[in-house]
Amino acid sequence: MDFDNLFGIHERALVLRSQRAEILSANLANADTPGYKARDIDFKAMLQQQMGDGMRMATTSSGHIQAESGTVPPAQLLYRVPSQPSLDGNTVDSEREHAAFGTNAIEYQTSLSFVNSKISGLRKALKGE
């Protein structure tokens, strides 16, 4: 059994989900800010990128620092396509952001319960009862 990759995809998914929650919370806080553009990440693409090791940066010197997994590079932070124009240039649709935040929270808890069941399964195996 590989303990480095015990939780598999769920470990990375949890980090990404929490970051997406942060981005969506900023959208909701700025729901009335003139000129603010709502932002989001492409969760699927980012998770695929973080799971595949082929996309890692090449390090040719000991001073090179590998991008920390679980951080969102600015280029990956996308702008939401507004569903309706507003006079003050704000593209936050409160209802849409709310729905996205709620869905994201549920999905976070889903990943969390997968991790939890993995832990309890291991516990059971260790105890051998």
Partner 1 sequence: MSMFRIFDTAATGMSAQTLRMNLVASNMANADAVSNSRDETYRARQPVFQTMLDQFNPDAVAHGVRMAGVVESDAPLIQEHAPDHPLANEEGYIFRSNVNMVEEMANMLSASRSYQSNVEVANSAKQLLLATLRMGQ
The residues of the shown chain that bind partner 1, judged by CB under 8 A, are 14, 18-19, 21-26, 28-34, 36, 39, 72-74, 77, 94, 98, 101-102, 105, 108-109, 112, 115-116, 119-120
Q: 3-state SS of the chain?
A: CCHHHCCCHHHHHHHHHHHHHHHHHHHHHCCCCCCCCCEEECHHHHHHHHHCHHHCCCCCCCCCCCCCCCCCCHHHEEECCCCCCCCCCCCCCHHHHHHHHHHHHHHHHHHHHHHHHHHHHHHHHHHCC
CB of 71 to partner 1, least distance (A): 8
Give the shortest CB-65-to-partner 1 separation in angstroms. Answer: 14
CB of 55 or CB of 119, closer to partner 1: 119
Task: Give the residue with the Cβ less far from partner 1, 9 or 112.
Answer: 112
Q: How far is the CB of 96 from partner 1 (least distance, A)?
A: 12
Give the residue with the Cβ less far from partner 1, 21 or 47: 21
CA 94 to chain centre: 20
Q: Which is nearer to partner 1, 95 or 129 (CB)?
A: 95
Q: How far is the CB of 16 from partner 1 (least distance, A)?
A: 10
